[in-house]
Amino acid sequence: MAKYKITSFHIVIFFLLAVLIFEVTSFYRGISYIVNKYKWQDTFAKLNSSYFKTSMEYGSLEPSLEKHMVFETLTKNLNVKKLCQNSVKDRCWAKKSFYINGSTTYSYDPYPGFILDNGVSVSGINDTTATCDSQKICNIISIDINGLERPNKFGADQFRIYYFKDKVVPYYHGDDNLVGTTVKHYLNFK
């Protein structure tokens, strides 16, 4: 059996390979971050434009509308690749979503959704008892920047957009107090 002698040359080569792997990984993460940030901004702009165009055409998109009607009317102003009556079963949303702390969120099973032409998954949460006048929240839309791919975590690749009567608030699920009791103060509601 031959014995291998580790020389300083081998150590230097090993070190350089480790640095190269680290740099490639960092570069990939940086590119991934830039792509996701662009997709988030692009999707946010498209959804807002479509939401307000649709609101102007139909008067409002009150949550008291049938769940699927909000998305059917909203998608008329978007480039949609796939429309789903049930986000999870129709594969528009991941089976499981997680909070930033790793615990599982509620299921998106009953909610409608769609996939945009850029691969972003969109699903909605409609509280049919809420109205723009009584609670000032007109609709809540959840987006997943990278579709069904992991990590499916709010704050990482999943975010929400809250549509109020006169404002739009993007947030991640770690910001729950923003849409709770402090929302009126934050948004200058009286």
Q: What is the pLDDT of residue 144?
A: 92
Q: What is the pLDDT of residue 62?
A: 58
Query: What is the rounded radius of gyration, in angstroms, for the C-alpha atoms of the chain?
Result: 22
Average pLDDT over residues 46-50: 85
pTM of the model as a whole: 0.69
Of the chain, the percentage scoring pLDDT greater than 90 comes to 9
**Distance between alpha carbon 80 and the CA centroid of its chain, in Å?**
16
Q: What is the pLDDT of residue 187?
A: 40
Q: What is the pLDDT of residue 189?
A: 39
Backbone angles phi, psi at 122, to 5 degrees: -130, 135
pLDDT band at 176 (very low <50, low <70, confident <90, very high): very low
pLDDT exceeds 60 at position 9: yes
Q: What is the pLDDT of residue 39?
A: 87
Higher pLDDT, 147 or 164: 147
Instruction: State the chain's mean pLDDT as an integer.
Output: 75
**Domain boundary assignment for the chain:** 8-186
